[in-house]
Structure 1
């Protein structure tokens, strides 16, 4: 299973654990007090650079050890990179424990901006502004990436492992039936009705393996029906989530589920596991699949001779579902952030590694081509930046995401921009809507209440404005 999907699916558990520990208040009292009371700040002295990584075993870790680690050490003679691979599901707990003990590596990953914000508020990350000038990050990185990493106009984190939700389709089936990917709600619904009428499930879908994955669908419908501007206004407190534009989006999602468009029936939507739904997609029993960009890394397991079929796949942007929503827009997901420990003995060395890993397009493109999904960096890519041997579909997706978000055509994934209790609410309570135990209006009203309380407590991560 691709690293990004595993990380995202495991995140709800760690968020629940965080809530049980008391949230940000526990972080501030338990870590900031014990670590910073006797700390006079970090140092820029030389020496080894220590790093914790949340890369999965297998190809991601192997590529890092064989290419990135020796490459950095060769480019920075005398600086040794000491990396420790930690389980993705445990990385946040391990970081918290280490910092509470006054320890931790020089380079610290987090599972996303909401987590990073807690450490920034507790003064546990070093400021990186001097390195923006030193390494010309303003010229290298996409503007929104630096904006997202800033707090009170100071840079503390670099977002990494970009992801988004897209529409996959069985291109062999589409060609045989003379179909095209939908570019509007009318086209999507007409296509779904045609497929359903011929006994083909419109969308492979199911949450049997991981119920928390249901949050993908509110993400899709709020972004592509309600729209990124409406979400921005809600996430910044201008509009409540009980507004009709969000209620209508959930009602539309529920309607599609009740029609059997997702997974074949409501019951199958709840019971289908990932391997089963992906096998149906590859075999042509289902025509499309709404999933994250991480699926590209495992699509080969379900298409072609190795999977027992002669089918192929492709992808397209999710269509706007009402007027005013951009034609090509991607909900922005951040799988990880990278920061420097405020107590680091070698902040210069740590910053040089961040620059080496993230800010060079040629190197980043090679990493992204070698191990899809694991090293996606926020850089202004063009088609020619990637190796010719790279899968054209993957290259096209990475370039499209880079260019669209660079132009401000982005939305917001639940797992990146919502605070923890709101995220858990989205995952758990939406299932009651699908079973008929709660209305869409009641669901959104409840979310509005939870979100408002978290916003009052300062738990909402930084929200960058679309179109900016």
Structure 2
């Protein structure tokens, strides 16, 4: 599942039976002797499905004569993939919630080693190094991120004007603005984990970046320092303090998802939404030409809490991952689809009507923001800014992309600290124990050392 926080989990027993009975997509033949390749995707909106059909399915089918691509949309895609892969079945191209999601299947032998395809298509030369490396396990490539992502501040310009404040550039300004919003009867910010608890990873990752610093997290991932290091302890404590002050959705964090939060932001119920650039896709439902408010939405870096860290900096991540089913009879075709998606042309076309999800992690992000309209323009600019951060080393790491799988999952339980049901010490001791086990198994992806 993508980290949108909006999808409904679960599938009926009948749906499970269908999944288990399904063979890999490449086993069937389509019209004209072409082989059918299957990709299972989450339950995108009708407009997004239309874009996917036009740009990906039709575009890929026209680009070659051997395969037809078939995309199936379903809100329970993660569960369906889990059931199918456990039975050595499922789609040819495996869509997942990110590299940590894929790594868990890679070590089970459910995903194909894509290193030969990386060499054939030159993916390592084309993809940003941190993003390429995030999909490797024990030196072999098992997934590629579909998009480059950053965590920051979405803001409503009209609400800031109403409050008489500007876009915050320091943490003190940010908290002062939220306090002022609360006094005016607004949410200090809007966001929430309703329906998708891993949303929590966004906020602990953000605090690890802006309190502990990307270098400290890097050192923890390398085993140079413990996850119980004072810098990391402070990041956890500060995130809990932030939550307890109502700075994450007020009292409604557990009752809001990203879609509802963006609607509230557009309605002027809050000045801020903290989250991944992925959220541009939800914002477009409420900030658009029909509503006449497209220009009201802005995006800015989250300010550092600790002085002396690189500024501006971001928290690097991805929205999803793309892998090849180890039991697909058409691995070459699956690789061809992934290669098609790792291109300027694909990125250019997808972002015209679907901002937020397709910041293809190319080293040379040549898309011109001025050639786009609406929120696509703002999103394309955010990707360019994030690429610049990668090139200068001014970034931290999103847990779901760069942490080993069980460690990333363990960080999802940060809300125990926020709610006071677990101490920071106990929480980080569990993180350390989980991490030690995964590091011993070689599950920590290689990551480049950030600047600070």
TM-score range, shorter chain: 0.7 to 0.9
SS in 1 for 2:275: strand
Aligned residues: 428
The answer for the alignment partner of 1:238 in structure 2 is: 224
Q: Equivalent residue of 1:314, what SS?
A: strand
Q: TM-score, normalised on structure 1?
A: 0.78
1:169 corresponds in structure 2 to 155
How far does the alpha carbon of each residue in 1:282-327 deviate from its partner, in whole angstroms, 9 at most, with x for none? 3333221212222212224445897799992211011122134221
**CA-CA distance at 1:393 after TM superposition:** 1.5
Where do 1:41-440 residues align within 5 Å?
Answer: 48=35, 50-57=37-44, 58-76=46-64, 78-85=65-72, 87-91=74-78, 93-207=79-193, 210-264=196-250, 267-271=251-255, 277-303=261-287, 312-358=296-342, 360-379=343-362, 380-384=364-368, 387-389=371-373, 391=375, 392-428=377-413, 430-440=414-424
C-alpha distance after superposition, 1:89-138 (max 9, x if no partner)? 334x4445444544444333333212322343344444444444543334
Distance 1:90 1:328 in 2: 36
Query: 1: CA distance between counterparts of 2:6 and 2:400?
Result: 7
RMSD of Structure 2 on Structure 1 (CA): 3.5
In structure 2, distance between residues paired with 1:271 and 1:344: 40
> For residues 339 and 251 of structure 1, do their structure 2 counterparts lie closer, same or farther at Cα, with a shift above 3 Å needed?
closer
Change (3 A) 1:159 1:257: closer
Work out whether residues 263 and 283 of structure 2, in 8 Å CA contact, stay in contact via their aligned partners in 1.
Answer: no
Aligned to 1:445: 429
Which whole-Å CA distance do the structure 1 matches of 2:444 and 2:7 have between them?
Answer: 20
Contact residue 154 and residue 272 of structure 2 kept, 8 A: yes
- What is the distance in 2 between the residues matched to 1:239 and 1:262? 29
CA contact (8 A) 2:289 2:374 kept: no
Structure 2 unaligned residues grouped into runs of 5+: 12-32
Instruction: List gaps (5 residues or longer) in structure 1.
Output: 15-45
Judged with a 3 Å threshold, the aligned counterparts in structure 2 of structure 1 residues 300 and 101 are, in CA distance, closer, same or farther, namely closer
Q: Which deviates more, 363-372 or 190-199?
A: 190-199
The structure-2 alpha-carbon separation of the partners of 1:88 and 1:401, relative to structure 1 and needing over 3 Å to count, comes to farther
Shift of 1:147: 2.4
Change in CA separation of 1:185 and 1:73 when aligned onto 2, cut-off 3 Å: same
Aligned-residue offset at 1:84: 4.0
Deviation at 1:226, TM superposition (A): 0.9
